[in-house]
Amino acid sequence: MTEKYYFECVNCKTKYQKDEVKYLCPKCDLENAKDKRLKGILKVIYNYDEIKENFKRREDIIKIWPINSLESLSPLKVGNTPIYKMNNIYFKFDALNPTFSFKDRASDLVVAYAKENNIDTIITASTGNAASSLAGICASQGIKSILFVPKTAPKAKLLQSGLYGGKIIPIDGTYDDAFELSIEASRKFGWYNRNTGYNPFTVEGKKSVAIELYFQFKEMNKEIPHNIFVATGDGVIISGLYKGLEDLLKLELIKEMPNIVMVQSEGSRNLVQNIGKDEFTLTPSTTIADSISVDIPRNFYMAEEFILKYQGDTILVNDREILDASLELGKDYGLFAEPAAVTAYAGMKKWKKIGVNDREILILLTGSGLKDIFSIEKEINMPKPIKNLDELN
Ligand SMILES: *Cc1c(COP(=O)(O)O)cnc(C)c1O
């Protein structure tokens, strides 16, 4: 019997059997000292021809996942988040995941894999959401989590991680420093590493959004909307979406790739500004959208390949546009998303190509606004307390 899946290196295209490699392609990994954009990220490939006759329900995702049983997933029920339609825009509201961000999709699969393989400790580097997500999902599965986070991570995300019993290691440095150190730590102590991109199953976990979109729109007798906006930092969410859609193409369930629009903050633009370029130009990141504030996009090569192959679009928005979009999402739609998530909506507002009659639009809202209340604090006018009604004006 052939194995369920194999790996293929995004850079050199070498194929590996599933037990031959764990994180990066060993040939390309050697070059990493020069290029911090992880070279040799592994793409997971399945036997699509064998599966395609029998891919009919959401649960069939197990056929294109590196685990044996859906029962290994967290009892917390990750994904299957609602889609809301307002003003001809579809919102996929991933703030309603168990730990309130899209990151649960990756954590759920990585932890399930760990469980099936008798791994008891998982480490991750994170700007905040991956940490709280890993901590929460691990708590529900009886697995230990170790979290390398920049000391400046938003307080709610840190407290949330602590509450779930994760071991927080604050790093006196940036997210990028945390990333490097956590890889060193997993080598040194043998902990299984969930770092986004680095662990090939993070993309696989995140692709569940594409499979859901397919079935959710099918239930509405519709196809997946043509334009999908995705806020991007390391480029794993957007690659997960693309990978899921590509799997659907290979399974012959969809006929064309939707138009995916990668949205970054002007203050964290190292994917958008470097796609298709020979030389990597680094602009140091500073943005209120902390979840997408990364200097070196770790999944650069995979995201770049998808964007170029399927001719996706890219767009930048600034912090003011993100804040305005936050207020608008709240006031006009009753949706409270964190700045990084709102970035996708801000990008859609700015995207000139959408005409009144254009085909449908979907916005991925990737995290809850309650995770980072301080970024909007200055925007909300809090009235003075009163003692009696005479003071009302
Ligand atoms: C992580 C994250 C993103 C960006 O995902 P990448 O895979 O880093 O591109 C967007 N929004 C939220 C809320 C996140 O936590």
Q: How confident is the model at residue 29 (pLDDT cuts 50, 70, 90)?
A: confident
Mean pLDDT of 73-79: 98
Query: What is the reported pLDDT for 357?
Result: 47
Q: Residues near ligand 1 with C-beta < 6 Å?
A: 101-103, 129, 196, 231-238, 291-292, 338, 340-341, 366-367
Q: Of 200, 229, 263, which residue constitutes the final position of a domain?
A: 200
Position 393 in a domain = no
Gap between the Cα atoms of 3 and 129, Å rounded: 33
The answer to whether residue 73 is domain-embedded is no
Which is more confident, 145 or 286? 145
**Of all protein residues, whose CA lies closest to atom 12 belonging to ligand 1?**
366
Which pLDDT score, from 0 to 100, does residue 356 have?
44
| Calpha distance 105→78 (Å, rounded) | 6
User: End-to-end CA distance of the chain, in Å?
Assistant: 77
Same domain, 94 and 167: no
- For residue 111, being part of any structural domain is answered with yes
Indicate whether 373 and 274 sit together in one domain. yes
Ligand 1 mutation target, pool 230, 291, 343, most atoms within 8 A of CB? 291
Residue 239 CA, closest ligand 1 atom number: 7
Give me the half-sphere count of Cα atoms (radius 13 Å) on the Cβ side of residue 296. 18
The answer to the question of residue 70 being in a domain is: no
Tell the burial category of 285 from Cβ atoms under 10 Å away from its Cβ (0-12, 13-18, 19+): buried
Is 302 a member of any domain? yes
The string of pLDDT tens digits covering residues 118-149 is 999 999 999 999 999 999 999 999 999 999 99
Asked if residue 202 has pLDDT above 70, the reply is: yes
Average pLDDT, integer, range 254-281: 95
Ligand 1 atom closest to the Cα of residue 366 is: 13
Q: Check pLDDT > 60 for residue 242.
A: yes
Count how many domains the chain has.
Answer: 3
Ligand 1: nearest atom to the Cα of 129: 15
User: What gap in Å lies between CA 86 and CA 361, rounded to an integer?
Assistant: 11
- For residue 376, CA distances in Å to 102, 327, 343, 354, 379 come to 21, 8, 14, 28, 5
Does the pLDDT of residue 33 top 80, yes or no?
no
Distance CA 9, CA 208 (A): 21
CATH code for the domain in which residue 254 is found: 3.40.50.1100
- For residues 204 and 41, give the distance between their C-alpha atoms in angstroms, rounded to a whole number: 12
384 C-alpha to center of ligand 1: Å? 36
Best mutation site among 41, 97, 105, 234 for ligand 1 pocket (most ligand atoms within 8 Å of CB): 234
Q: What is the mean pLDDT of the chain?
A: 94
CA–centroid distance, 101 to ligand 1, in Å, is 9
pLDDT-wise least confident of 10-24, 116-130, 214-228, 343-357: 343-357
- Structural domain for 270, as ranges: 83-100+202-377
Centre of ligand 1 from the C-alpha of residue 102, in Å:
7
